[in-house]
Amino acid sequence: MNNALDRAGWIFVAIMALAAVLVPVAALGTPEGALVHMPSYLVQLLGKYLCYAILAIALDLVWGYCGILSLGHGAFFALGGYAMGMYLMRQIGARGVYANPLLPDFMVFLNWKALPIAWWGFNSFAYAMLMVVLVPGLLALGFGWFAFRSRVTGVYLSIITQAMTFALFKEFFRNDFGFGGNNGLTDFKDILGFPLQSDAVKAGLFCVTALFVNLSYLVSRAIVRSKYGKALIATRDAESRMRFLGYRVENIKLFAFVVSAVMAGVGGALYVPQVGIINPSEFAPGNSIEAAIWVAVGGRGTLVGAAIGAIAVNFGKTYFTGALPEYWLFALGALFVGVTLFFPAGLMGALSWRWKQRAPKETGT
Amino acid sequence: MSEENARLTSSLLYLDDVQVTFDGYRALRGLSLVLAPGEMRAIIGPNGAGKTTMMDVITGKTRPDVGEVYFEGRHDLTQLDEAEIATLGVGRKFQKPTVFENHTVHDNILLAAKAPRSVRATLRARPTPESGRAIERILERIRLTNVRDWRAGALSHGQKQWLEIGMLLAQDPKLLLVDEPVAGMTDSETAETAAMLKEIAREHSVVVVEHDMAFVRELDVKVTVLHEGAVLAEGSLDQVSADERVVEVYLGR
Ligand SMILES: Nc1ncnc2c1ncn2[C@@H]1O[C@H](COP(=O)(O)OP(=O)(O)O)[C@@H](O)[C@H]1O
Ligand SMILES: [Mg+2]
């Protein structure tokens, strides 16, 4: 990571920290109709972008720094989201349509008599948060352990990550899988006893999300700047050379992959209370591919670029799906092709490359 | 049998009747070779003789179909993977220089330097004055001190070869395998490389594969001639170049 990039990173952290304070102030501390007032739908929208930024940073950690193009990161995000969603469902309690104090509405509707074991414990916030971390982390651990030990790399690895998210996509659609089927989990009422509909809670969630963006960035930055991070980059560039130096490259990859999956899960957990729903479409293979496009656009191997890419592309998506909904996929495709052709290193990559021309002794990545 | 046993236990590297087949092509056909501790050996042989394949077998990249490969008389290398063999103390320099292009020259040496390799250890590793000095000493020996902060990818071909030799020095293996170190080098670079390797050979056992006869002469060590996956001749360079079969193999092409 060179100096220009690191400086951009600190600017980004400062902006996020400011946003964590100013957005709640603009949403809650200003009169409606004032120029600086921020309506709550906008707060939620920005909060959603920031969740995507966390996912993008997570993906960049494995793709940009270790060459693992995961096209299944949407699955880790969605699993974190489901863990949060299950907590929110159980918070509804007897306020559901069927007024069952224990069973969420969809279970009553399906005529289930008891709470499935998978749902036990989710009345506790702490337990749910543990699951937000554990479920994506353990899936990544198991998946990565097999994939990296059997030395699956490159496009084959990308394909099996797609298969992983696709398999989950199919499973979660089934009603008898026990997670709300097609409709997913929704109609949430409150979180930690605070109503999700209130502006204050929305602003609070935004603030927490912005802080988690910074945490994700700073943790990833510390990782990639450590000696382990150098080993990670070296594994990306010359894997077999690392083996002959005595490094267990499968463990090097596995650690980054698990950290990344956990980070993605946290992003998903923050996403669900802000958008108010989680359903199987979050596992759709296309979602994971979109995440890879954000990272490519922002610049892989830059961390900060990935976050900016996620935010920028999603601004574009919001605009397009409002104004010209049928053209969004074309626009996304064109953007991806354009960036690949003209800015192969992405927006941040282009910036740091210009810097490198000025300071030829600077290290890359 | 017991004589063979003695040869095994007193050896640093012991290959016996090693055979490797690629899709029906027999790259190694009963290769046997014994290297004594502290020895430096040059391996020559025409293209396709199996020299690189031999190194692949020793370092765990390729599993032999038949044959024994032992390190220090007791480690069966055919049962270990690349990282385990490297950890035992076998270092390797590839035919094509492979350095970590996106890292600085300094960081290349840092990654190679003898130190715990685990994720946990590398996450916690902090530079110490001693480790810093050790790296600087190596940079001096490979004559790259003045480019220590360059990206390795920006080095010339010859400098990359030296950097790779420096990485091996940092790794401090008991046995060093060096594959065609002077391919593509200028004459003066070749002479410097020979000097470097001889210096290294004072503290390490070394196997050098090379085509360049002038270079092999400069090394002035025992020579093994490989041909069609087996040893054709062994002895001093003068002895083997007087061998008619060797002359035929080299000139017959
Ligand atoms: N992975 C492989 N697959 C198929 N054939 C191989 C492979 N590696 C080497 N060979 C063949 O084995 C023979 C010996 O190759 P090599 O050991 O590279 O020779 P040298 O290093 O002496 O030039 C060559 O004919 C080569 O084509
Ligand atoms: Mg060769």
Q: Can you give the pLDDT at residue B1?
A: 57
Contacts 24+ apart (CB under 8 A), A228-233: A228/A252, A228/A255, A228/B119, A228/B122, A228/B123, A228/B125, A229/A65, A230/B103, A230/B107, A230/B110, A230/B111, A231/B111, A231/B122, A232/A65, A232/A66, A232/A256, A233/A65, A233/A66, A233/A365, A233/B100, A233/B102, A233/B103
Give contacts of A361 with chain B, Cβ < 8 Å: 149-150
Residues whose CB falls within 8 Å of the CB of residue A26, separated by 6 or more in sequence, listed in order: A36, A37, A38
pLDDT confidence of residue A362: 41
Q: Answer for the pair B94, B55: CB distance below 8 angstroms, yes or no.
A: no
Instruction: Record the pTM.
Output: 0.92
Chain B residues in contact with A220 (beta carbon < 8 A): none
Q: Looking at the predicted structure, is the pLDDT value of residue B11 above 70? A: yes
- CB of B62 closer than 6 A to ligand 1? no
Cα angle value A7/A13/A18 (rounded, 5°): 130
Q: Nearest-CA residue of chain B relative to A227?
A: B122
User: What is the nearest CA distance from B153 to chain A, expressed in angstroms?
Assistant: 10
Has residue B66 got a pLDDT over 90? yes
What does the block give as tokens for B16? 């016996």
For the segment B176-192, the average pLDDT, to the nearest whole number, is 88
Q: Using a 6 Å cutoff on CB, does residue B49 contact ligand 1?
A: yes
Neighbours of ion ligand 2 (CB under 5 A): B 51-52
User: From ligand 1's centre to the CA of B95, what distance in Å?
Assistant: 13
Ligand nearest to C-alpha B51: 1
Of B92, B101, B117, the CB nearest to A237: B101
Residue B235 to residues A165, A184, A283, A331, B241, Cα–Cα distance (Å): 61, 77, 66, 70, 9
pLDDT value for A112 = 94
Q: What is the pLDDT of residue A354?
A: 57
Q: Is residue B106 predicted with pLDDT exceeding 90?
A: yes
Pairing of strands A277-278, A185-186: antiparallel
Rounded Cα–Cα distance for residues A27 and A302 (Å) = 32
User: How far is Cα A354 from Cα B242, in angstroms, rounded to an integer?
Assistant: 60
Taking an 8 Å cut-off on Cβ atoms, the answer to whether B98 and A227 are in contact is no
The residue of chain B with its CA nearest to that of A356 is: B151
A155 neighbors A292 (Cβ within 8 angstroms): no
Q: How far apart are CA A346 and CA A297, in angstroms?
A: 5
Secondary-structure breakdown of chain A: helix, strand, coil percentages, each rounded to the nearest 5 = 75, 0, 20
- Per-residue pLDDT tens digits for B233-252: 999 999 998 998 888 887 65
Show pLDDT as tens, one digit a residue, over chain A (365 residues): 578 889 999 999 999 999 999 999 999 998 888 888 999 999 999 999 999 999 999 999 999 999 999 999 999 999 999 999 999 999 999 999 999 999 999 999 999 999 999 999 999 999 999 999 999 999 999 999 999 999 999 999 999 999 999 999 999 999 989 999 999 999 999 999 999 999 999 999 999 999 999 999 999 999 999 999 999 999 999 999 999 999 999 999 999 999 999 999 999 999 999 999 999 999 999 999 999 999 999 999 999 999 999 999 999 999 988 888 888 888 888 988 988 888 888 888 777 665 555 444 444 44
Mutation choice for B interface testing from A227, A250, A253 by most B CBs within 10 A: A227
Q: Which residues of A touch B122 (CB under 8 A)?
A: 226-228, 231
| CA A252 to chain centroid | 22
Query: B85 CA to middle of ligand 1, Å?
Result: 21
Q: Which of B53, B60, B42 is nearest to B19 (CA)?
A: B53
Q: Note the pLDDT of residue A365.
A: 41
- Greatest extent of chain B over all pairs of C-alpha atoms, in Å: 59
Residue of the CA atom closest to atom 17 of ligand 1: B50
With 60 as the cut, is the pLDDT of residue B253 above it?
no
| HSE (side-chain half, CA atoms, 13 Å) at A13 | 15
Q: Which atom of ligand 1 is nearest to the CA of B45?
A: 22
Of A233, A248, A249, the CB nearest to B103: A233
Q: Any CB–CB contact under 8 A between A363 and chain B?
A: yes
Distance between CA atoms of residues A329 and A290, nearest Å: 10
* CB burial string A252-276: b at 16+ within 10 A, e below: bbbbbbbbbbbbbbbbbbbbbbbee
pLDDT of residue A347: 86
Distance B94 CA to ligand 2 centre (A): 9
Q: How do residues B113-122 score in pLDDT, each as one tens digit?
A: 999 999 999 9
Kindly give the distance from the C-alpha atom of residue B197 to the centroid of ligand 2, in angstroms, as a whole number.
Answer: 19
% chain B with pLDDT above 70: 98
Query: In a mutational test of the pocket of ligand 1, which residue from B15, B23, B43, B52 has the highest number of ligand atoms less than 8 Å from its CB?
Result: B52
The kind and range of the H/E element at B16 are strand B13-22
Q: Is B175 on the interface with A (CB under 8 A)?
A: no
- Check pLDDT > 80 for residue B185: yes
B61 touches chain A (CB under 8 A): yes
Nearest Cα residue to atom 7 of ligand 1: B22
Residue A352 tokens, joined: 């740091």
Hey, whose CA ends up nearest to atom 11 of ligand 1?
B27
Q: Do residues B101 and B151 lie in contact, with contact meaning Cβ atoms separated by under 8 Å?
A: yes
Residue A110 has φ and ψ, to the nearest 5°, of: -85, 0
Q: Pick the residue of B102, B124, B169 with the most A CBs within 10 A to test the interface with A by mutation.
A: B102
φ/ψ of A196, rounded to 5, equals -65, -20
| pLDDT number for residue B219 | 87
CB-hemisphere CA count at 13 Å for A12?
27
> Containing H/E element for B214?
helix B213-219
Distance from the B59 Cα atom to the nearest Cα atom in chain A, whole angstroms: 7
What average pLDDT does chain B have? Answer: 92
Residues 195-254 of A with CB under 8 A from B: 223, 226-228, 230-231, 233-234, 237-238, 240-249, 251-252
Q: Is B196 in the pocket of ligand 1 (CB under 6 A)?
A: no
Chain B touched by A41 (CB under 8 Å): no
Residue nearest (by alpha carbon) to ligand 1 atom 27:
B48
pLDDT score for A350: 78
**Cβ-defined contact of B102 to A363 (cutoff 8 Å):** yes
Which of 199-228 (B) contact A at CB < 8 A?
Answer: none
- Interface A-B, measured as beta-carbon pairs within 8 A, has a size of 83
Residue of chain B minimizing CA distance to A229? B123
Closest CA to B55 of B13, B88, B21, B7: B13
Question: If we measure between CA atoms, which residue out of A190, A186, A215 comes closest to residue A204?
Answer: A190
Helix (H, G, I), strand (E, B) or coil at B232: strand
Looking at the predicted structure, is the pLDDT value of residue B125 above 90? Answer: yes
Q: Residue B228 corresponds to which tokens in the numbers above?
A: 């069609």
Contact across the interface for A228 and B151, Cβ inside 8 Å? no
Q: Look at residues A243, A220, A213, A215 and name the one whose alpha carbon lies nearest to residue A231.
A: A243
Enter the DSSP assignment of A364: P
Token representation of residue B57: 């077998």
pLDDT of residue B190: 87
Q: Report the pLDDT value the prediction gives residue A352, as an integer from 0 to 100.
A: 67
